[in-house]
């Protein structure tokens, strides 16, 4: 028998992105392939850099809120919440309990909305297209609630420094109750479609495994670390707002693979529904919606039209802004992608000296190349989807 001639093999370099439907925006990967196995992946970011941090240095403190919401555009209100908390820390403002409960409610609804986009796109990339349609159907209800509250669907800028933009609108409780009643059965439906779906399970289990040590080393505190066995959650470890008085669990899974991240995020949505129900019971339809501090919070509109002092105050806040004592603060919150936090530096004037967002997606992107290396090329999509990166958050 003739000896088989030795096959000449060489690696192939494939460019994936920045224009690629499965890279969640403009992520670019340069993959070196040996057959179907990824030898190395070079992750390139920066295509969506808009210089928000530089822009924010030119704005007044209250004008930064809409800017930071545009960083992580799927989890907008975690950004503005951590920004508001950091500024309030420097101002040493007392925030009324009702405002804190509303913020908890808004933050949890935002988490559900963000996870729904993650679930829909992740499942679609793995072939379950109908899940995407269902998830976006439910997210639409949450966007409607945003529209009801603030007149804006994606970036409501409802959370302001010192409290909220205005009081809750009429019909808010009904809208949220309708969503909370309807959502858990829908979540069961998604689980029916995915949790035991053989295609989904075989494409996600034992794929993209991240050990707990790696997750912490890469700074992936959040759902990714919790899917690797961590129990760290900012809401429990460094409580903010009124979270200590809420009854909820922190979901965790030991396996560290793509499937574990799916399980953790699904459970997080269920816990968020629990928190929302408790918050909704506490929040009265009307009441205080901001701190009682005339330096920071603009007076109500009816007083602006009838009282001279209120008119002056209104004019001062909107023309000069307010000053924040010199210093620095970093108050993190548990966002949908992990620890969101805004590090602010004030020089005592009405404009921030420096704003720095802690970007969970940036660190997740950094870890991608080491997670992908050695896996099959088909798993690349599953890993990117499960890290839930938002390029607006990466590039800022």
Partner 1 sequence: MDAPDIIAALNPLVPGVSYEAASTPDCATVYVPVVGLVRTCGALRDSLGFEVLVELTAVDYLPRTPRFEVVYHLLSIANRRRVRLKVRVEAGDGVPTVQGVWPSAGWPEREVWDMFGIPFDGHPDLRRILMPEEWEGHPLRKDYPVQIRKATDTYEPLQVTEEAFRANIERDRFTRTKPS
Residue (296 or 331) nearer to partner 1, CB: 331
Structure tokens at 349: 């004037």
Site membership for partner 1, residue 152 (CB under 8 A) = no
Site membership for partner 1, residue 117 (CB under 8 A) = no
Main-chain phi, psi angles of 119, to 5 degrees: -65, -45
- Overall size of the chain counted in residues: 396
| Among 354, 373, 376, 377, interactor with partner 1 by CB under 8 A | 354
For partner 1, which stretch binds (CB under 8 A), given 16-24, 282-290, 326-334, 373-381? 326-334
Site membership for partner 1, residue 170 (CB under 8 A) = no
Residue spans of alpha helices (H) in the chain:
52-57, 64-69, 76-91, 97-125, 129-150, 172-194, 198-204, 212-217, 223-226, 234-237, 258-282, 301-306, 308-319, 360-372, 377-387, 391-395
CA distance linking residue 223 with residue 335, whole number of Å: 9
| Among 331, 371, 380, 384, interactor with partner 1 by CB under 8 A | 331
The binding track of 61-100 with respect to partner 1, each residue x by CB under 8 A or -, is -------------------------x--xx-x--------
Residues 6+ apart with CB under 8 A from 295: 322
Q: What is the DSSP string of 358-379?
A: E-HHHHHHHHHHHHHTTSBHHH
Site membership for partner 1, residue 40 (CB under 8 A) = no
Residue (48 or 266) nearer to partner 1, CB: 48
Minimum Å gap between C-beta 215 and partner 1 is 9
Site membership for partner 1, residue 211 (CB under 8 A) = no
Site membership for partner 1, residue 324 (CB under 8 A) = no
* Rg, Å, the chain Cα set: 23
Contact 364, 391 (CB under 8 A): no
State the DSSP H helix or E strand holding residue 106, giving kind and residue range, or none if neither: helix 97-125
| Among 74, 362, 371, 388, interactor with partner 1 by CB under 8 A | 362
Minimum Å gap between C-beta 264 and partner 1 is 16
Name the 3-class secondary structure at 394: helix
Site membership for partner 1, residue 45 (CB under 8 A) = yes
Structure tokens at 146: 């945003």
- The footprint of partner 1 on residues 226-265 (CB under 8 A) is 230, 232, 237-238
What is the sign of the dihedral through the CA atoms of 371, 377, 378 and 380?
positive
Site membership for partner 1, residue 320 (CB under 8 A) = no
Site membership for partner 1, residue 218 (CB under 8 A) = yes
Site membership for partner 1, residue 24 (CB under 8 A) = no
Structure tokens at 89: 């820390």
Minimum Å gap between C-beta 358 and partner 1 is 5
Which residues contact partner 1 by CB under 8 A?
45-46, 49, 51, 53-55, 58, 86, 89-90, 92, 216-219, 221, 230, 232, 237-238, 327-332, 339, 341, 343, 345, 353-354, 356, 358, 362-363, 365-367, 395-396
């Amino acid at each position: 028998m003739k000896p088989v001639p030795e096959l000449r093999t060489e690696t192939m370099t494939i460019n994936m992105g920045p224009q690629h439907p499965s890279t969640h925006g403009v992520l670019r990967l340069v993959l070196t392939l040996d057959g179907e196995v990824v030898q190395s992946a070079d992750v390139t970011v920066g295509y969506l850099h808009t210089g928000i941090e530089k822009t924010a240095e030119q704005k007044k403190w209250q004008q930064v809120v809409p800017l930071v919401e545009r960083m992580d555009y799927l989890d907008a209100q975690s950004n503005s919440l951590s920004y508001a908390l950091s500024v309030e820390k420097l101002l040493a403002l007392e925030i009324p309990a009702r405002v804190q409960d509303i913020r908890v409610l808004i933050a949890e609804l935002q988490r559900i909305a963000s996870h729904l986009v993650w679930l829909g796109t992740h499942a679609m990339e793995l072939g379950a297209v109908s899940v995407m349609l269902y998830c976006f159907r439910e997210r639409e209800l949450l966007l409607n609630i945003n529209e009801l509250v603030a007149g804006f669907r994606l970036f409501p800028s409802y959370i302001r420094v010192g409290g909220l933009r205005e009081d809750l609108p009429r019909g808010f409780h009904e809208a949220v109750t309708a969503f909370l009643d309807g959502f858990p059965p829908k979540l069961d439906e998604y689980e029916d479609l995915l949790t035991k779906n053989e295609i989904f399970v075989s494409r996600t289990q034992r794929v993209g495994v991240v050990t707990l040590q790696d997750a912490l080393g890469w700074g992936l505190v959040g759902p990714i670390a919790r899917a690797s066995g961590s129990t760290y959650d900012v809401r429990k470890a460094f409580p903010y707002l009124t979270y200590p008085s809420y009854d909820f669990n922190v979901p965790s899974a030991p396996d560290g693979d793509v499937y574990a991240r799916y399980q953790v995020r699904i459970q997080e949505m269920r816990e968020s529904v629990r928190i929302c129900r408790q918050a909704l019971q506490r929040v009265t339809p009307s009441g205080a919606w901001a701190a009682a501090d005339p330096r920071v919070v603009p007076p109500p509109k009816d007083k602006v039209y009838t009282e001279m002092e209120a008119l002056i105050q209104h004019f001062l806040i909107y023309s000069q802004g307010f000053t924040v004592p010199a210093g620095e603060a970093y108050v993190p919150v548990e966002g949908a992608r992990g620890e969101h936090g805004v590090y602010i530096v004030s020089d005592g004037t009405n404009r921030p000296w420096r704003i720095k967002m802690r970007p969970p997606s940036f660190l997740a992107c950094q870890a991608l190349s080491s997670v992908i290396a050695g896996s099959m090329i088909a798993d690349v999509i599953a890993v990117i989807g499960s890290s839930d990166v938002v390029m607006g958050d990466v590039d800022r």
